[in-house]
Amino acid sequence: MLRSMFSGVSGLRSHQIMMDVVSNNIANVNTSGFKASRATFQEAISQVLRGASGIEPPRAGVNPMQIGLGVQAASIDTIFTQGATQLTGRATDVAIDGAGFLIMNVAGQERYTRSGTLNLDQVGNLSGPTGGILQGWMVDPLTGAVDFNAPLEDLSVPAGQTIDPVPTSIIEYGGSLPAEALVGDSIRATISVFDTLGNPHEVIADFVKTGVNAWEVTVTLPAGATAVSGLGPTAMTFDTDGNLTSAPTILLDDVVFPGGAGAQDITLDLAGQVPVVQFGGVATLNALGADGNAKGTLSGIEIGADGAITGRFSNGKNKILAYIALATFTNPGGLGREGESFFAESANSGVPLIGRPSGPLHGPLVAGAVEASNVDLAQEFTNMIIAQRGFQANSRAITTSDELLNELINLKR
């Protein structure tokens, strides 16, 4: 009878553990990136009352006689099924759609998490709610190069960083000059360009009809600007099919804009993706675009599915600043829970396999979203009932054993 009581006690302990696991799952039903756990049981040691024996003619073999001594918790397993993706609208939030963990530097230790709730601190570090700093690879600000084989580093996006001005080196013109235009008719195309200091200036190109299939272009710079050559007028000729037969480019040599800027060469491209032609009908010729840009200040960031953190600058330019790294494990179930939604490498998890999102081993990122908890409330409430009934049944076994002992004691009376 004492055996039955101790078996009942082991059942109470085991079902209490099961209830603890269920309660923790329910408590974290709204914790982003949380992975539910499950408790499994196994039979405890059995006491042998009679061993097995083989066949001894004329007697048959005899099976062993054993009494189990209760139950014990076999394991508490983490369930790594994918949680739902919840949009947050915050540019720094990320959800992992598939395998992988974000890598965080927590007080000098690498920790892993599925929670992508990220913020920018006062110096621009991408960090979690409790201060861990996101890990990855920074892009060289001068060359734009990145070494994905280099050690991981803290990802930082300082708010005050700028992008250098780039002087304009090419202006592209395209469209149609009207074949029926009269001699002396002109078409003007105006565009803004940048000097070596990033200051904008207006460049005007006038296309004037000079004869049959013949035009000339004159370039006008702003007051105070000079050029060694190329301002024109420069002759342009077309064949009978309307195609340009003269030089496809015009070089403005050593242009110097006012305001202290240095000399720069600007090429007028007349035969780009949309070449200048001479057809009948309405004139469509225009300045299609120019390279170069003014100085820009970081105004925001975007995170791509491949982990690229792209900075948006006030001058309209974008620049990749860093890449987020992900880690996978041969046995993610072997990771240890560290609290604050962190996991840590263990002896049975395997070493982290580091790579970029959207790679062969790592899922893509979803920006502006977080992964919801994968807790299934219907399953947890069912498990709660199972744990409750198991606890009640074991309690009944203990009280029944107690009644039997009481009857035994009362035999003396």
Rg (CA), the chain: 38
Q: Which residues contact 393 (CB under 8 A, 6 or more apart)?
A: 11
DSSP-based three-state secondary structure for 208: strand
pLDDT at residue 290 tops 80: yes
Report the candidate in 293, 271, 292, 317 with the shortest Cα–Cα distance to residue 172: 271
pLDDT at 413: 63
> Measuring CA to CA, how many Å separate 151 from each of 137, 145, 284, 355?
8, 15, 54, 11
Angle at 12 between CA 8 and CA 17, to 5 degrees: 145
DSSP-based three-state secondary structure for 344: strand
- Render 152-195 in DSSP notation, one character per residue: PEE-B--TT-EE--B---EEEEEEEEETTPPTT-EEEEEEEEE-
pLDDT at 389: 96
pLDDT at residue 159 tops 90: no
Residue 132 contacts residue 408 (beta carbons within 8 Å): no
Rounded to an integer, the average pLDDT of 226-238 is 92
Rounded to an integer, the average pLDDT of 72-82 is 94
pLDDT at residue 54 tops 70: yes
pLDDT at residue 2 tops 80: no
pLDDT at 5: 87
Angle at 402 between CA 400 and CA 403, to 5 degrees: 65
pLDDT at 1: 59
Report the candidate in 104, 90, 31 with the shortest Cα–Cα distance to residue 326: 104
The pTM of this model reads 0.80
Query: Quick one: pLDDT band at residue 359, thresholds 50, 70, 90?
Result: confident
Query: Quick one: pLDDT band at residue 403, thresholds 50, 70, 90?
Result: confident
Angle at 156 between CA 155 and CA 161, to 5 degrees: 145
The count of other CB atoms within 10 Å of the CB of residue 262 is: 12
pLDDT at 394: 93
In the numeric block, which tokens belong to residue 116? 């992508």
Using N-to-C axis directions, what is the helix angle for 377-410 and 2-27, rounded to 10°?
A: 160
First vs last C-alpha separation in the chain: 20
Residue 87, strand partner residues: 369
Residue 144 backbone phi and psi in degrees, to 5: 75, 5
233-245 confidence digits (pLDDT tens)? 999 999 999 999 9
Least confidently predicted of 65-79, 120-134, 398-412 = 398-412
Mean pLDDT of the chain: 92
pLDDT at 190: 95
Rounded to an integer, the average pLDDT of 37-64 is 90
pLDDT at residue 381 tops 90: yes
139-156 confidence digits (pLDDT tens)? 988 888 999 999 999 999
pLDDT at 310: 93
Q: Which residues contact 280 (CB under 8 A, 6 or more apart)?
A: 178, 179, 180
20-33 confidence digits (pLDDT tens)? 999 999 999 999 99
Query: Quick one: pLDDT band at residue 3, thresholds 50, 70, 90?
Result: confident
In the numeric block, which tokens belong to residue 243? 């195609």
Tell me which H or E stretch contains 8.
Answer: helix 2-27
129-143 confidence digits (pLDDT tens)? 988 999 999 998 888
Angle at 133 between CA 131 and CA 135, to 5 degrees: 160
